[in-house]
Structure 1
């Protein structure tokens, strides 16, 4: 097989390129920019382009497939030539489906918890020594790549609702046709892609209708929007498995989950993670994993990168970083940490970094999201607004939207650093929430400084 990647430097594109190269395919690719870690990964695999830039000579009639990344525009010269030659052109998810036609496909969709639920399933199957392929949106401990394509009989996919490519605007998860589907919940937080809530809902209805006949939909029934959507779109040719928060106990900061008659300790915590865990169990059960084996495997699952990631801790303080940025995710993450350590004061720092979160018209969506914090900061860099070519976001509008007494709004990373170093390093937890990097603040080294820092009067 000869496969060419237009925009090979993408975070998942280059991973697929490496996976196909390992499978024995002849892989070429181009891009107008390639950064680390893609550069080093492609070089090590021996498929780094000889020069940066588009190269029409790479588009030849003998190519079996041309895979088009999100970064490539509709007027890309290689794409235009591939079209003129009548070659098979695929978006990333379309090609994943082509490679998994004869596999059992598990697809995890939903507005939140996709990466964690997908990685839980992968973790369990790996511990069970099962052969499987996968596609996941983060680097996971124990897995070299975030994409793997072999001759395994099963594939586990994170199903993203963002557009598939520059010429294929439909959501990625519409192309995967699962046998086992999971929907974790629905929260409209991509107003730049889905202009109305109704349009966003429609994407999930289409996804449900693309589950293979005889398949199963595992869905979060505690999400009222999702439960309503499912009940209004019932199919008689698939099975339904609802789930919600399973029975559990917390003792000395350690969570134990109950699945049927079986119990097991978890390294992760919070209602959202307990629900992710139960959804993962139902998928694994469909693949033949018992509850006992599932719980045994889950003991040492520590989560995907930046998902309630523990940065530093001492006997009475823990500092976490989480990818949360959308209102529903922020609220769930804050509640999880507060529930786990109810007696500790909880400091939360939320960075507004995405198009939606920096949009003045979206601020009211955050009302109540920070209510469980004892001290809260909302940070956003003026630089982020400039890069995204967005208008100024007035501090007063942020205050009104969040409607949180005592909220501090900051735009200067140095001011934020000074504030953080005033936090006592005992009887408290700190929660960093962002999909960005706080305008270049080194959170890891700052967490170390906070743990070892003793503000006056805190000892």
Structure 2
């Protein structure tokens, strides 16, 4: 087939382009800007656009389908030309469904933990020599791409609740029609799309309705919102609850206690132990035994940017994490403190997303950083400009977090200078953001912390 991807440079889109090319399709694409690593990876597979921009002449009647990325606008010239020609236009989640509708579809939903749960499932299925396709939101060790589309009988999909495309305002995870679904937790997010918590919860109610009749929902009973939502549902689906398994930590290693065994893990934190049980539930539903699951999960190192270890020595560890919402922030801070109870924690988080920078939402962060011994919040001044938002000052941030000891920076160079002067002996450093701290080299920062 001839396929054209508008906004091919996006994280999911460029991985889909590569996957479709590897399957033998003729793939072209366009974008107004493509950054690394997308640029190099597309070039390697000979599908990098020759020039940046939108060109209606790219769209011809012999194209079988156009796939539209979220980065494009509804008035995109190539999209308009495709519509004029009557070509079939898909959002990328729609096209994923088209490629998987004859498969068993596993869809991982929830406000947090989606990437990690999906990654755990892929790791176990791979270790058990099971054939599967996948869509995941992070680059994983042992996997060349974040999307795979083949003739495998199963597809594992990270089910984002954000909108499918500029012309399809449905959340992505509504479009996959899961046979096996997961809800890991529900905490208000994406307030630019879902302005109230009630409207956000409604998306998960709809998700339950999209699960195929007789399908399975695997859900976290330790989240009261999830528990109430699933257990009150009247959909004709199998309800499989999960919760944290018994565990203990010794010498900085977390052990899972199951079946009379103590299984050492390479990940830690209550949220990751919950994620692990969600992954177990899915793998069980796909025919993987607990014995096989336990044997495989002990070698799972985690997904990129999810409590990713940047370096450590005998008295300091430095982690980076994607945490940006209040629930993720709390879970990540608590995990590091529990893993290293005898060490102080220097925690730095960047307010970067539309939700986190919104004045009305900011109060949701109240108490989020109380578990840090040194709590730092950073906002890149340019982010307000890029998102066309009115900036606010240090006092509003401190008031919202309700933490008088909180330290605020809006200059990345001063932030680096502050962090570089700390003596990290018997301290850990945790760097949390969905952005890039204004271009700070986090590996350099970690090396400084480990050599002070």
* TM-score when normalising by structure 2: 0.97
- Residue in 2 aligned with 1:40? 40
- Residue in 1 aligned with 2:368? 369
- Could you tell me how far 1:370 is from its partner in structure 2? 1.0
Whether the 8 Å CA contact 2:189–2:200 is kept in 1: the answer is: no
1:107–1:261 CA distance, 2 compared to 1 (3 A): farther
User: In angstroms, what is the RMSD of aligned CA positions?
Assistant: 1.3
Whether the 8 Å CA contact 1:320–1:430 is kept in 2: the answer is: yes
- Residue in 2 aligned with 1:457? none
Alpha-carbon distance in 1 for matches of 2:117, 2:56: 40
- Residue in 2 aligned with 1:384? 383
Whether the 8 Å CA contact 1:262–1:292 is kept in 2: the answer is: no
Whether the 8 Å CA contact 1:322–1:433 is kept in 2: the answer is: yes
- Could you tell me how far 1:269 is from its partner in structure 2? 0.2
Instruction: Show the 5 A alignment for 1:3-402.
Output: 3-235=3-235, 237-402=236-401
Alpha-carbon distance in 2 for matches of 1:263, 1:180: 29
> Secondary structure, in 3 states, of the residue corresponding to 2:299?
coil
1:286–1:261 CA distance, 2 compared to 1 (3 A): farther
Alpha-carbon distance in 2 for matches of 1:22, 1:282: 31
> Secondary structure, in 3 states, of the residue corresponding to 2:319?
strand
> Secondary structure, in 3 states, of the residue corresponding to 1:90?
strand
- Could you tell me how far 1:46 is from its partner in structure 2? 1.5
Whether the 8 Å CA contact 2:137–2:158 is kept in 1: the answer is: yes
1:25–1:229 CA distance, 2 compared to 1 (3 A): same
- Could you tell me how far 1:406 is from its partner in structure 2? 1.4
> Secondary structure, in 3 states, of the residue corresponding to 2:356?
coil
Higher mean C-alpha displacement, 318-327 vs 433-442? 433-442
- Residue in 2 aligned with 1:456? none
Alpha-carbon distance in 2 for matches of 1:200, 1:271: 24
Whether the 8 Å CA contact 2:347–2:376 is kept in 1: the answer is: yes
- Residue in 2 aligned with 1:414? 413
1:412–1:54 CA distance, 2 compared to 1 (3 A): closer
Whether the 8 Å CA contact 2:337–2:345 is kept in 1: the answer is: yes
Higher mean C-alpha displacement, 243-252 vs 114-123? 243-252
1:279-309 alpha-carbon deviations (Å, 9 max, x no partner): 0001001111111111111112111111101
Alignment length (residue pairs) = 452
Alpha-carbon distance in 1 for matches of 2:9, 2:351: 27
* TM-score when normalising by structure 1: 0.96
Higher mean C-alpha displacement, 57-66 vs 3-12? 57-66
List alignment gaps of at least 5 residues for structure 1. Answer: 454-459
Alpha-carbon distance in 1 for matches of 2:315, 2:278: 32
Alpha-carbon distance in 2 for matches of 1:192, 1:266: 38
- Could you tell me how far 1:84 is from its partner in structure 2? 2.1
1:38-69 alpha-carbon deviations (Å, 9 max, x no partner): 22211111222232222323322232211111
> Secondary structure, in 3 states, of the residue corresponding to 1:150?
coil
Alpha-carbon distance in 1 for matches of 2:218, 2:89: 32
- Could you tell me how far 1:256 is from its partner in structure 2? 1.0
Alpha-carbon distance in 2 for matches of 1:59, 1:334: 49
> Secondary structure, in 3 states, of the residue corresponding to 1:356?
helix
